[in-house]
Amino acid sequence: MAGHSKWAQIKRKKAANDKQRGKTISKHIRAVQAAVRSGGSGDPSANLALKNALAAAKSDDVPQDNIDRAIERALGGGEGGNFDEVVYEGYGPAGVALLVEALTDNRNRTVAEVRHAFNKHGGSMSGSTAWQFESKGIITLADTSERAQELAIELGAEDLEVGEQLTITTAPGDLYTVLEGLQAAGLETDVAQLTKVPQTTTSVTGEEAAKLARLIEALEDLDDVQSVYSTAELDNVPEPV
Protein backbone atom coordinates (compact mmCIF):
# COMPACT_ATOMS: atom_id res chain seq x y z
CA MET A 1 0.00 0.00 0.00
CA ALA A 2 1.57 3.27 -1.10
CA GLY A 3 2.27 5.93 1.45
CA HIS A 4 2.87 3.81 4.55
CA SER A 5 6.51 4.85 4.89
CA LYS A 6 5.51 8.50 4.88
CA TRP A 7 2.45 8.35 7.15
CA ALA A 8 4.34 9.83 10.08
CA GLN A 9 5.28 12.87 8.00
CA ILE A 10 1.62 13.75 7.50
CA LYS A 11 0.61 13.08 11.07
CA ARG A 12 0.79 15.89 13.58
CA LYS A 13 4.41 16.17 14.72
CA LYS A 14 5.46 15.47 18.28
CA ALA A 15 5.66 18.63 20.36
CA ALA A 16 9.09 20.24 20.18
CA ASN A 17 8.65 22.86 22.90
CA ASP A 18 6.41 23.74 25.83
CA LYS A 19 4.07 25.94 23.78
CA GLN A 20 3.59 23.33 21.08
CA ARG A 21 3.31 20.62 23.71
CA GLY A 22 0.44 22.51 25.35
CA LYS A 23 -1.32 22.90 22.01
CA THR A 24 -0.93 19.19 21.27
CA ILE A 25 -2.45 18.26 24.63
CA SER A 26 -5.34 20.71 24.07
CA LYS A 27 -6.16 19.09 20.73
CA HIS A 28 -6.30 15.65 22.31
CA ILE A 29 -8.40 16.86 25.24
CA ARG A 30 -10.88 18.38 22.80
CA ALA A 31 -11.03 15.09 20.89
CA VAL A 32 -11.60 13.11 24.10
CA GLN A 33 -14.42 15.42 25.22
CA ALA A 34 -16.07 15.33 21.81
CA ALA A 35 -15.86 11.52 21.76
CA VAL A 36 -17.45 11.20 25.20
CA ARG A 37 -20.31 13.51 24.28
CA SER A 38 -20.94 11.98 20.86
CA GLY A 39 -20.71 8.42 22.18
CA GLY A 40 -22.62 9.12 25.37
CA SER A 41 -20.17 7.16 27.50
CA GLY A 42 -16.88 7.61 29.33
CA ASP A 43 -16.13 3.90 29.00
CA PRO A 44 -13.89 3.19 26.00
CA SER A 45 -15.06 -0.42 25.84
CA ALA A 46 -18.54 0.91 25.02
CA ASN A 47 -17.46 3.97 23.01
CA LEU A 48 -15.26 3.31 19.97
CA ALA A 49 -14.76 7.01 19.26
CA LEU A 50 -13.40 7.47 22.78
CA LYS A 51 -11.20 4.41 22.40
CA ASN A 52 -9.70 5.94 19.26
CA ALA A 53 -9.21 9.31 20.95
CA LEU A 54 -7.51 7.73 23.94
CA ALA A 55 -5.16 5.72 21.73
CA ALA A 56 -4.13 8.86 19.86
CA ALA A 57 -3.62 10.75 23.13
CA LYS A 58 -1.45 7.97 24.49
CA SER A 59 0.69 8.08 21.34
CA ASP A 60 1.47 11.73 22.10
CA ASP A 61 2.07 11.05 25.82
CA VAL A 62 -0.87 13.10 27.10
CA PRO A 63 -0.89 12.84 30.92
CA GLN A 64 -3.55 10.50 32.30
CA ASP A 65 -4.73 13.13 34.78
CA ASN A 66 -5.58 15.49 31.92
CA ILE A 67 -7.52 12.75 30.18
CA ASP A 68 -9.44 11.78 33.31
CA ARG A 69 -10.45 15.40 33.96
CA ALA A 70 -11.57 15.80 30.34
CA ILE A 71 -13.81 12.73 30.58
CA GLU A 72 -15.28 13.94 33.89
CA ARG A 73 -16.04 17.38 32.43
CA ALA A 74 -17.65 15.87 29.35
CA LEU A 75 -19.80 13.53 31.40
CA GLY A 76 -20.83 16.39 33.68
CA GLY A 77 -21.82 18.61 30.78
CA GLY A 78 -19.62 21.41 32.11
CA GLU A 79 -17.26 23.74 30.34
CA GLY A 80 -15.52 22.60 27.20
CA GLY A 81 -18.15 23.29 24.59
CA ASN A 82 -19.84 21.05 22.07
CA PHE A 83 -17.67 20.40 19.06
CA ASP A 84 -18.68 19.46 15.54
CA GLU A 85 -16.50 17.20 13.42
CA VAL A 86 -15.74 18.83 10.07
CA VAL A 87 -13.55 17.82 7.14
CA TYR A 88 -12.00 20.19 4.60
CA GLU A 89 -10.60 19.14 1.24
CA GLY A 90 -8.14 20.93 -0.97
CA TYR A 91 -4.91 20.92 -2.92
CA GLY A 92 -1.48 22.21 -2.05
CA PRO A 93 1.62 23.06 -4.09
CA ALA A 94 2.50 20.52 -6.79
CA GLY A 95 -1.15 19.47 -6.93
CA VAL A 96 -0.87 17.41 -3.75
CA ALA A 97 -4.22 16.39 -2.26
CA LEU A 98 -4.89 17.40 1.35
CA LEU A 99 -7.52 16.28 3.82
CA VAL A 100 -8.01 18.33 6.99
CA GLU A 101 -9.98 17.06 9.98
CA ALA A 102 -11.15 19.53 12.62
CA LEU A 103 -13.26 19.81 15.75
CA THR A 104 -14.94 23.18 16.08
CA ASP A 105 -17.53 25.07 18.09
CA ASN A 106 -17.66 27.76 15.38
CA ARG A 107 -17.74 26.51 11.80
CA ASN A 108 -17.49 29.99 10.27
CA ARG A 109 -14.31 30.76 12.20
CA THR A 110 -12.68 27.45 11.38
CA VAL A 111 -13.39 27.44 7.65
CA ALA A 112 -12.08 31.01 7.41
CA GLU A 113 -8.84 30.05 9.18
CA VAL A 114 -8.35 26.93 7.09
CA ARG A 115 -9.04 28.79 3.84
CA HIS A 116 -6.59 31.53 4.83
CA ALA A 117 -3.85 28.96 5.44
CA PHE A 118 -4.47 27.33 2.05
CA ASN A 119 -4.46 30.65 0.20
CA LYS A 120 -1.40 32.02 2.00
CA HIS A 121 0.75 28.99 1.22
CA GLY A 122 -0.11 28.32 -2.40
CA GLY A 123 -3.01 25.95 -1.93
CA SER A 124 -6.69 25.97 -2.75
CA MET A 125 -9.81 24.68 -1.01
CA SER A 126 -11.38 23.42 -4.20
CA GLY A 127 -12.18 19.98 -5.54
CA SER A 128 -12.79 16.68 -3.81
CA THR A 129 -9.87 14.84 -2.25
CA ALA A 130 -11.40 12.52 0.36
CA TRP A 131 -11.69 9.70 -2.19
CA GLN A 132 -7.89 9.61 -2.46
CA PHE A 133 -7.54 8.45 1.16
CA GLU A 134 -8.71 5.43 3.08
CA SER A 135 -9.00 4.75 6.79
CA LYS A 136 -6.48 2.35 8.28
CA GLY A 137 -5.21 1.35 11.67
CA ILE A 138 -1.52 2.02 12.29
CA ILE A 139 0.61 0.42 15.00
CA THR A 140 4.31 0.99 15.47
CA LEU A 141 6.72 -0.78 17.78
CA ALA A 142 10.46 -0.90 18.29
CA ASP A 143 10.62 -4.70 18.02
CA THR A 144 11.31 -5.55 14.38
CA SER A 145 12.02 -9.24 14.98
CA GLU A 146 10.57 -12.05 12.89
CA ARG A 147 8.57 -13.09 15.95
CA ALA A 148 6.84 -9.71 16.10
CA GLN A 149 6.20 -9.74 12.34
CA GLU A 150 4.78 -13.27 12.33
CA LEU A 151 2.55 -12.48 15.31
CA ALA A 152 1.20 -9.35 13.64
CA ILE A 153 0.31 -11.34 10.52
CA GLU A 154 -1.34 -14.07 12.59
CA LEU A 155 -3.41 -11.43 14.37
CA GLY A 156 -4.72 -10.03 11.08
CA ALA A 157 -2.33 -7.28 9.96
CA GLU A 158 -2.80 -6.19 6.34
CA ASP A 159 0.72 -4.95 5.75
CA LEU A 160 4.08 -4.63 7.49
CA GLU A 161 6.97 -2.26 6.93
CA VAL A 162 10.30 -2.92 8.57
CA GLY A 163 12.76 -0.09 9.11
CA GLU A 164 14.05 1.49 12.30
CA GLN A 165 10.72 0.34 13.72
CA LEU A 166 7.99 -2.08 12.72
CA THR A 167 4.96 -0.35 11.20
CA ILE A 168 1.83 -2.47 11.08
CA THR A 169 -1.19 -1.55 8.98
CA THR A 170 -4.61 -2.99 9.73
CA ALA A 171 -8.18 -2.62 8.55
CA PRO A 172 -9.91 -0.04 10.80
CA GLY A 173 -12.02 -2.67 12.54
CA ASP A 174 -9.00 -4.89 13.27
CA LEU A 175 -6.82 -2.24 14.93
CA TYR A 176 -7.60 -3.14 18.52
CA THR A 177 -7.63 -6.90 17.93
CA VAL A 178 -4.08 -6.70 16.60
CA LEU A 179 -3.02 -4.19 19.27
CA GLU A 180 -4.37 -6.23 22.18
CA GLY A 181 -2.82 -9.42 20.77
CA LEU A 182 0.60 -7.78 20.53
CA GLN A 183 0.31 -6.41 24.06
CA ALA A 184 -0.80 -9.79 25.40
CA ALA A 185 2.41 -11.23 23.94
CA GLY A 186 4.43 -8.67 25.89
CA LEU A 187 5.25 -6.36 22.96
CA GLU A 188 5.26 -2.65 23.75
CA THR A 189 3.73 -0.40 21.09
CA ASP A 190 4.69 3.23 20.43
CA VAL A 191 1.73 4.34 18.30
CA ALA A 192 -1.70 2.77 17.86
CA GLN A 193 -4.46 4.76 16.21
CA LEU A 194 -6.75 5.17 13.26
CA THR A 195 -5.42 7.35 10.50
CA LYS A 196 -5.90 8.10 6.81
CA VAL A 197 -3.42 6.87 4.24
CA PRO A 198 -3.24 7.90 0.58
CA GLN A 199 -4.08 5.32 -2.05
CA THR A 200 -1.29 6.72 -4.22
CA THR A 201 1.47 9.21 -3.44
CA THR A 202 3.31 11.98 -5.26
CA SER A 203 7.01 12.66 -4.73
CA VAL A 204 7.59 16.34 -4.01
CA THR A 205 11.09 17.81 -3.72
CA GLY A 206 12.95 21.09 -3.42
CA GLU A 207 11.10 24.38 -3.08
CA GLU A 208 7.73 22.80 -3.83
CA ALA A 209 8.30 20.45 -0.92
CA ALA A 210 9.22 23.40 1.30
CA LYS A 211 6.03 25.26 0.31
CA LEU A 212 3.91 22.20 1.00
CA ALA A 213 5.59 21.63 4.37
CA ARG A 214 4.81 25.23 5.34
CA LEU A 215 1.16 24.79 4.36
CA ILE A 216 0.81 21.58 6.36
CA GLU A 217 2.49 23.18 9.35
CA ALA A 218 0.19 26.22 9.16
CA LEU A 219 -2.86 23.98 9.07
CA GLU A 220 -1.63 21.79 11.92
CA ASP A 221 -0.98 24.90 14.00
CA LEU A 222 -4.65 25.95 13.92
CA ASP A 223 -6.36 25.26 17.25
CA ASP A 224 -9.40 23.60 15.66
CA VAL A 225 -7.46 21.31 13.33
CA GLN A 226 -6.91 17.79 14.62
CA SER A 227 -5.17 16.07 11.70
CA VAL A 228 -3.81 16.88 8.26
CA TYR A 229 -3.29 14.15 5.67
CA SER A 230 -1.46 14.48 2.38
CA THR A 231 -0.69 12.38 -0.69
CA ALA A 232 2.87 13.72 -0.74
CA GLU A 233 6.16 12.00 -0.17
CA LEU A 234 8.40 14.88 0.85
CA ASP A 235 12.07 14.51 -0.10
CA ASN A 236 15.02 16.92 0.07
CA VAL A 237 13.03 19.65 1.80
CA PRO A 238 15.22 22.79 2.05
CA GLU A 239 15.85 24.04 5.57
CA PRO A 240 14.08 27.33 6.43
CA VAL A 241 16.28 30.35 5.85
For 216, the domain range is 84-131+202-235
Q: How far is CA 77 from the centre of its chain?
A: 26
CA dihedral 49, 50, 51, 54 (to 10 degrees): 130
> Are residues 211 and 122 both part of a single domain?
yes
> Are residues 215 and 179 both part of a single domain?
no
CATH code, domain with 207: 3.30.70.980
Q: Are 74 and 39 spatial neighbours (Cβ–Cβ below 8 Å)?
A: no
Q: How far is it, in rounded angstroms, from Cα 25 to Cα 148?
A: 31
> Please, which residues bridge with residue 170 across strands?
137
Q: Kind and range of the H or E element at 66?
A: helix 64-76
Give the total number of structural domains in the chain: 3
> Are residues 63 and 169 both part of a single domain?
no
Q: Are 169 and 155 spatial neighbours (Cβ–Cβ below 8 Å)?
A: no
Tens-digit pLDDT string for the chain (241 aa)? 233 334 444 344 444 466 778 888 999 999 999 999 888 888 988 898 899 899 888 888 899 999 999 999 888 865 555 788 999 999 999 999 999 999 999 999 999 999 999 999 999 998 899 999 999 999 999 999 999 999 999 999 999 999 989 999 999 999 999 999 999 999 998 888 889 999 999 999 999 999 999 999 999 999 999 999 999 987 666 565 4
Provide the 8-state DSSP code for 122. Answer: T
70 inside domain: yes
- What single letter denotes the amino acid at residue 232? A
